[in-house]
Amino acid sequence: MGTELLAASAEARHVFALADGITGIPISRLCAEGPLDRLTQTDVAQPAVVATSLAALALLRERVGVEADAVAGHSVGEFAAYVAAGVLTAEDAFKLVSARAQAMASACKTVDGAMAAVIGLDEAALRAACAAASDNGSSVEVANVNSPGQLIVSGARDAIERFAAHARAAGARRILPLNVGGPFHSVYMRPAAATLASASAETRFKPARIPVVLNVSAEVTQDPRALRHELEVQVYSPVRWTETLRRLAGLGCDRFLEVGPGQVLAGLVRRTLPDVKVASFGAPGDLPAAESLIA
């Protein structure tokens, strides 16, 4: 992950060097060499995603020289989005995402948690199934509203097992366990949010240069106070990605470029906004598609 960016751009190499130095973890080596089981652990995966996203952004700016009209990031991607919008420096983004990742990894150790994708169930039925499967000691809740027909739940593993029975009875076509480190975007992450709030209180947040659409509310803001608060609450709140994309479209955005590893978000854009143009940029080979989108 990110190795082609490292080879193509001095600025990308600088981004990874920052990630290595600030986190104290050899992010660049783990991205290039693995092992995969270490790269996918929470304390590594989150700064690695941000590093790859920011390295891709650096190469994109270097080669194409374009700036976005508005920006959003999915979950940990909000850190990269904030850098793109001038809210945080790359250095501060890595400090905060490192604090977030370590705090979330610690929170995951307190519960046998899991996440699952649910296909073919609407949000109202999903919430009803979550409520039916939850009790005071073991709960499951909506974690991501990713696109029409694709929702993610998160919580205690036994609650998710109970949820699966309710969801199938309600008509869910598929329930797919996710390979993640724990119950992200659920009540079990509240201790991590408190840690992140302490870290962000010592960090300067600048007004965004361009509109930012927030995960938790899908509201548009450039206010540094709202942007700071968002990073805290989104740790334990659902990512309202479908509403986020529709809000961006409402701002007049008709071309969407996913910047970072993979093409998952581009797929979600296509399912949610079938009439817009979309491309992904995560490696030098993606430059023609990005240039074609922007032209």
The set of catalytic residues is 75, 185
Distance CA 13, CA 52 (A): 10
**Angle, CA 91 vertex, CA 70 and CA 69 arms, to 5°:** 10
Pick the closest to residue 141 from 193, 183, 192 (CA basis). 183
Please, which residues have CB within 8 angstroms of residue 278's CB and are 6 or more apart in sequence?
A: 255, 256, 257, 258, 266, 269, 270, 293
CB count within 10 Å of CB 69 equals: 12
CA 8 to chain CA centroid, nearest Å? 25
DSSP-derived pairing of the beta strands 174-177 and 113-119: antiparallel
Q: How far is CA 112 from CA 156, 180, 195, 200, 222, in A?
A: 6, 12, 21, 28, 37
User: Is the previous residue joined to 288 through a cis bond, with omega within 30 degrees of 0?
Assistant: no
